[in-house]
Structure 1
């Protein structure tokens, strides 16, 4: 196993009386594709937001490349960049694709606008969307909007290589897509992992069985705020664990409460 890139130790998080994460330990290793699965409402998206530094845990410790994080991402830079792809793409409807992808560079860097456009076009080409920079999100299909959000997540300031994402966090990247569009996204996730200069590590939250099998090397199963099972994709196929069997079969009968 490679060196740990991100470690969560004893992380807990509650919203009111609802304890979403309960003393969770989780590690993302260098070069790893980690799948996070489990029933709806079991803290999968919350754990991504904690990893990204967008949500603070109530208890526990977070280490990024061995350095303990204090506070949220805005309180101090992590040793490596972390990018996040949100479930609904989260694009600004009033901005063009180019403006969406280059938003942070336009707002917070001193890079000339012409150079930002070049960087944006490089990333759009990387995700198979050359020549659409002038379009608006409303003019794109769901799958195209997802890919635009990928380009935005990996674009970075070349003058600050430390900010380039070393890990990407995908929150339900194939949700709402048809099987063909899902396959395009799944292939792109693996392609980005293997592309030089783009992060080689990622964690992906998903409910879709094809996405689990095609994008993850190791899987953890969250239920009732805890990691109930973890193992490789091969082990996922063979396990007799009742939670995993019920989840993958979609059965309403079993230890997973159907509310």
Structure 2
């Protein structure tokens, strides 16, 4: 498999004092189920952060709230020091935020080109030829040259994931503010074999490395993905942060939640519903 090349423009926000992202006391309930309970966290420029924990503990919910796709019940969100009011369509964030969904979330009836270039077709004045050129560039960037005219059903699971990456990093060159400085990955290696997972993990790191101070948050259960893509780990359980630390500390911490999670033991503070 050909290795992808990268030519993304680095962010110019290196060294800024304010965090790229700050959550303060975020809470969210669905009916009687309190999914997030006063969660506070900070992501700085250039950070690669993994949010881990048992299933159903609010990890994907956090991503959707950060992306501006889901209302929070309480708490504040600051993007580059600017308080967000409402959802993403209510006011533009000071930096672009891209999201890669767990199931790729491609439009089956559209070609790869139409999927990757969707926002540009809908919200830019670029010509179809210009959009096609940009689509070809990002597809080459994620190691998928020559597939623009194919449909999602013709692609493997790993290829669909990479197409969703291409869509997430697509931006309008005539609008620098549109360039995503924060990427959100929701279980990007779920359901993939070990080789395909390694390709995706390398791609995540490669995009990050060539974005200057660009940051990302990744939600994952997969041990290799945690270790190969994260610099810092946040452990979430029952809507609260139970542990946070550098990825290398997951093997030495005595935190009982982390110990049980990585050992796979049934006995411990993590109790699944039966």
TM-score class normalised by the smaller sequence = over 0.9
Instruction: Provide, for residues 188-242 of structure 1, a one-character-per-residue CA deviation record: whole Å limited to 9, x for no partner.
Output: 0000001247x72000000000000000000000001000100001111211111
Which residue does the alignment assign to 2:176? 161
Which residue does the alignment assign to 2:229? 215
CA pair 119-45 structure 1, distance change in 2 beyond 3 A: same
Which residue does the alignment assign to 2:94? 79
List structure 1 runs of 4+ shifted beyond 6 angstroms.
none
Structure 1 position 237 matched with structure 2 position 251: yes
The correspondence for 1:93, drawn from 108, 113, 126, is: 108
Which residue does the alignment assign to 1:52? 67
Matches of 1:137 and 1:234, distance apart in 2: 37
Contact kept, 8 Å, 1:2 with 1:29, in 2: the verdict is: no
How far 1:107 sits from its partner (Å)?
1.4
Structure 1 position 227 matched with structure 2 position 230: no
RMSD: 1.2
Which residue does the alignment assign to 2:217? 203
Give ranges in structure 2 of 5+ residues lacking alignment. 1-14
Structure 1 position 42 matched with structure 2 position 57: yes
Contact kept, 8 Å, 1:37 with 1:205, in 2: the verdict is: yes
Structure 1 position 120 matched with structure 2 position 150: no
How far 1:73 sits from its partner (Å)?
0.4
How far 1:249 sits from its partner (Å)?
1.0
How far 1:2 sits from its partner (Å)?
7.1
Matches of 1:214 and 1:49, distance apart in 2: 23
Instruction: Provide, for residues 111-159 of structure 1, a one-character-per-residue CA deviation record: whole Å limited to 9, x for no partner.
Output: 0000000000000000000000011000100000000000000001111
SS of structure 2 residue aligned to 1:73: coil
Matches of 2:229 and 2:268, distance apart in 1: 27
The number of aligned residues is 258
SS of structure 2 residue aligned to 1:50: helix
How far 1:56 sits from its partner (Å)?
1.3
Matches of 2:120 and 2:204, distance apart in 1: 23
Structure 1 position 253 matched with structure 2 position 263: no
Matches of 2:207 and 2:100, distance apart in 1: 13
SS of structure 2 residue aligned to 1:74: coil
Give ranges in structure 1 of 5+ residues lacking alignment. none
Matches of 2:272 and 2:94, distance apart in 1: 41
